[in-house]
């Protein structure tokens, strides 16, 4: 079974390969606080104004509310 990156559409033989690819995929510029997924702007909006997480069963929406740009994210230190 092939595993496909939803951002860039590349396919991988294993789920582990896909997970490793997701860490470096340049196509996923946004992420959702609700589900933690990364995705492209193109997949999150149809009109360029209203954003909604494209992940099934996720209610995340709104730039700056639930959806944020990856470039603006900070890593938490413990």
Task: Determine the number of helices (DSSP H) and then strands (DSSP E) in the chain.
Answer: 2, 5
Residues forming beta bridges with residue 39, ordered by sequence position: 30
Residue 64 lies in a domain: yes
pLDDT, one tens digit per residue, over 40-54 is 877 888 887 899 999
Residue 78 lies in a domain: no
CA distances from 59 to 29, 71, 74 (A): 19, 22, 23
- Domain hosting 33: range is 3-69
Please state, in angstroms and rounded to a whole number, the distance separating the CA atoms of residues 8 and 22. 10
- The pLDDT, as a whole number, for residue 5 is 81
Residue 23 lies in a domain: yes
pLDDT band at 39 (very low <50, low <70, confident <90, very high): confident
Residue 17 lies in a domain: yes
- The pLDDT, as a whole number, for residue 1 is 81
């Amino acid at each position: 079974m092939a595993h496909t990156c939803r951002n860039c559409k590349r396919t991988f033989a294993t789920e582990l390969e896909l997970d490793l690819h997701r860490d470096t995929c340049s196509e996923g510029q946004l992420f959702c606080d609700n589900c933690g997924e990364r995705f492209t702007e193109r997949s999150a909006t149809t009109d360029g104004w209203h954003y909604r997480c494209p992940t099934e069963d996720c209610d995340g929406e709104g730039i700056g509310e639930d959806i944020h740009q990856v470039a603006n994210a900070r890593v938490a230190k413990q």
